[in-house]
Structure 1
Amino acid sequence: MEIVLGISGASGVVYGTRLLEVLRERCFVNLIVTEAARKILEIECDRSYKDIISLADRVFEPGDLTAPIASGSYLFDAMVVAPCSMRTMAAIAYGMSDTLITRVADVCLKQRRPLVLVPRESPLSLIHLRNMVAVSEAGGIVLPASPSFYSRPLKVGDLVDTVVCRILDILGIDNSISPRWGGFGGNAYNDTGEEQ
């Protein structure tokens, strides 16, 4: 499976970096990291851009509209933007392909390939909500970075994994990185049926 992962300049870059760590074990990953995301990486994660790009199979600059992934004729399986800034969401909603991330997202929509956008913004304005509706109506999937708590997370990483697990599920990638809901008995279970 070949995935395009965009990390845009919004708080919550840990969702993108954790997804990259998991995807690299299972997929060929094309990575695009915006300039703003590179700065946020250092602030929120104490990780460098150089460290992150070493995890990807191929890395593209955010302004490189000549990259192979910018064309509908280039075959890849899906795209995820995590986190997805509200600027990026708006550009995708209105078909403004002015960056490589927004162009590849446009390719996904027109070619009917899975596109998963992971906004972390809160609260949401009416404009944000309308942009999300527009993306959803066009065929994209808006997956808010809204972690679940039934697994009784102990660390921030546990919360991040609940969101990454849902992204992987949408992509059709088997995983057990986060416990699954086990019913109202109060127990969450992993894929092997073991209580967490």
Structure 2
Amino acid sequence: MSRKRLVVAMSGASGAPYALCLLEELLRQGHEVHLLVTEAGWRVLKEEHQWPIQEREQIFYQRFGHLPGTLIYHPIKDIGASIASGSFRIDAMIVIPCTMGTLAKIAHGISSNLLERTADVMIKERRPLILVPRETPLSSIHLENMLKLAQAGVSIVPAMPAFYISPTHIDDMVRFVAGKVLDILGIDHQLYQPWEGKA
């Protein structure tokens, strides 16, 4: 398996466990991951994982620095970062979880921070962009924005865990969603057991 250069971005929707599971698996497999976290994303990490967010990127290096992959953290306001340019080759970008506000800005080409700028670059360069929205119920505005992005080639992967895997713990459901993202990326994994049919 070839080493990929990927961007993983966390916005402020509930669902930080999905992002952490995906990040851990990518780094465990030795990929290069450029990480972005919005201000609201840091708030979610504090609420859902009790992370001391004043430490910022250091907590990611402390948690994942032992893995064989390469982790590169970019401040969300650094619009001069490497990943903001189309000349910097990125294999794919994943926004997980993705708020409806972030999704709307991406759908309309609004780039007010590094996450939105990088997503805009992925679309204009026709590179894989995966959004994992986590919201319910969905309004017609949300659905129209998703359709607009899907028509532009963006993969929309709602955080909808399946039950055919017979989950016994919340981690099983988290791993399923992260695994679906890896499926789209063409990265082999063992985060969940694929459906093989039953007699």
TM-score w.r.t. the length of structure 1 is 0.91
Match of 2:59 in 1: 51
Counterparts of 1:29-178 in structure 2 under 5 Å?
A: 29-48=33-52, 49=56, 50-54=58-62, 55=64, 57-178=71-192
Match of 1:191 in 2: none
Structure 2 residue matching 1:24: 3-state secondary structure: helix
Partner deviation per Cα, 1:58-98 (whole Å, 9 max, x = no partner)? 10011111001000000110000000011100000000011
Post-superposition shift, 1:17? 1.0
Post-superposition shift, 1:51? 2.4
- Higher RCO (CA-CA < 8 Å; seq separation 6+): 2
Match of 1:188 in 2: none
Post-superposition shift, 1:25? 1.5
Amino acid in the other structure paired with 1:99: N
Ranges in structure 1 where 5+ consecutive residues have no aligned partner: 186-196
Amino acid in the other structure paired with 1:95: G
Post-superposition shift, 1:162? 0.7
**In 1, Cα distance between the equivalents of 2:15 and 2:24?**
15
Match of 1:10 in 2: 13
Moved over 4 A (4+): none
Amino acid in the other structure paired with 1:38: W
**In 1, Cα distance between the equivalents of 2:127 and 2:17?**
25
Between the aligned residues of both structures, percent identity stands at 44
**In 2, Cα distance between the equivalents of 1:19 and 1:139?**
22
Tell me which moved more, 17-26 or 50-59: 50-59
**In 2, Cα distance between the equivalents of 1:18 and 1:96?**
28
| Residues paired across the two proteins, number | 185
Match of 1:21 among 10, 20, 24: 24
Match of 1:189 in 2: none
**In 2, Cα distance between the equivalents of 1:12 and 1:128?**
18
Post-superposition shift, 1:53? 4.6
1:9 touches 1:34 (CA, 8 Å); kept in 2? yes
**In 2, Cα distance between the equivalents of 1:68 and 1:143?**
26
Ranges in structure 2 where 5+ consecutive residues have no aligned partner: 65-69
**In 2, Cα distance between the equivalents of 1:19 and 1:51?**
16
Post-superposition shift, 1:184? 3.5
**In 1, Cα distance between the equivalents of 2:14 and 2:191?**
22
